Structure 1
């Protein structure tokens, strides 16, 4: 049965909602929404807290087999085709983006997913991070548009 033969929109929306809830609860439970815990993880020469490495390791252990299964299937559970990124090159843009992302993560103690969860839980300072993140995304869209 093809995706067009079923109500893929509703299934995809429900799947997205459930995945987002599980993801958000996992981030809260793991402490990823606590900037001090994140900074302690990044402080290798001070009071290093390795607990987030276990969280990341567990995420990789779950993610690798699931991604392998998704590659073999080629379609989501709702039947929609999976669109995989085509770019594979490690270039200056990728390295610069990683450096900007890592610098922001280290300075703020948040990255985009946990920041959105923190904002949704009512933490006011997360609003500053999210506003800056959206501003950066808008700036990128403006500078990267085709000329």
Structure 2
């Protein structure tokens, strides 16, 4: 592995760890907190709204500043998806993501972060998530 790739891997590790710490501190790794936010009514927990209210401006400002650069700090070009079309697979995938998040209280990032707890429910969730990804990959190979 060359120095550039090693540096990229190291930076990715550090950024991933910071992201995981942020998820844990914000409560996004606690399914009951997430479900409390997603459940409207008398049991609604608005605390995650404050997490989003803090994160969205930071992202918006950082994204505009960073994208003004010719290339990322540790790479030669940007790797940003170019597709802007709203397709049937995008809608179905988004719906499945939302349903899974609403049922389990986990989405992929917090679930991977929560694996460190060794909790049985999160282990089952991650296994199901990986199986779903593999089934999708197999489906795409068969149909294309």
Same fold at TM > 0.5: yes
Q: TM-score, normalised by structure 1?
A: 0.89
Measured in 1, the distance between the counterparts of 2:86 and 2:42 equals: 32
Misfit runs of 4+, over 3 Å: none
What is the aligned partner in structure 2 of residue 25 from structure 1?
21
- Deviation at residue 85 of structure 1 after TM alignment: 0.3
Residue 44 of structure 2 is matched in structure 1 by 48
Work out whether 1:8 is the aligned partner of 2:7: no
CA distances 1:9-47 after superposition (whole Å, capped 9, x unpaired): 122111111111111111111111111001100111231
Q: Tell me the TM-score normalized by structure 2.
A: 0.91
**Offset of residue 82 of structure 1:** 1.3
Residue correspondence of structure 1 range 29-108 to structure 2 within 5 A: 29-108=25-104
For structure 2, the 5+ residue unaligned runs are none
- Number of residue-to-residue matches in the alignment: 142
Q: Does the CA contact (< 8 Å) of 1:104 and 1:111 recur in 2?
A: yes
25-34 vs 75-84, which deviates more?
Answer: 75-84
Q: Which residue of 2 aligns with 1:126?
A: 122
Q: What SS does the aligned partner of 1:40 have?
A: helix
Aligned partner of 1:3 in structure 2 is none
TM-superposed deviation, 1:115:
0.3
**Which sections of structure 1, spanning at least 5 residues, go unmatched?**
1-5
- Closer/same/farther in 2, CA of residues 74 and 140 from structure 1, 3 Å limit: farther
